[in-house]
Amino acid sequence: MEEWKEHFMRLLGGVEGRVVRGERRGEREKEEEKEISRTEIREIIGKLKDGKAVGGDGIPNEVWKYGGEEIEE
For the stretch 35-58, pLDDT in tens is 888 899 889 999 999 999 998 889
The pTM assigned to this predicted structure is: 0.48
The answer to whether position 29 is within a domain reads: no
User: 65 with 50: CB under 8 angstroms?
Assistant: yes
The answer to whether position 21 is within a domain reads: no
The answer to whether position 19 is within a domain reads: no
The answer to whether position 61 is within a domain reads: yes
Contacts of 51 (CB under 8 A, 6+ apart): none
Specify the length of the chain in residues: 73
Rounded CA-CA distance 10/7 in Å is: 5
Which structural domain, as residue segments, surrounds residue 61? 37-72
The answer to whether position 1 is within a domain reads: no
Kindly report, residue by residue over 18-35, the tens digit of the pLDDT: 555 555 555 555 667 788
Number of compact structural domains in the chain? 1
The answer to whether position 28 is within a domain reads: no
The answer to whether position 48 is within a domain reads: yes
Helices (H), the chain: 2-12, 27-32, 38-46, 61-66, 69-72
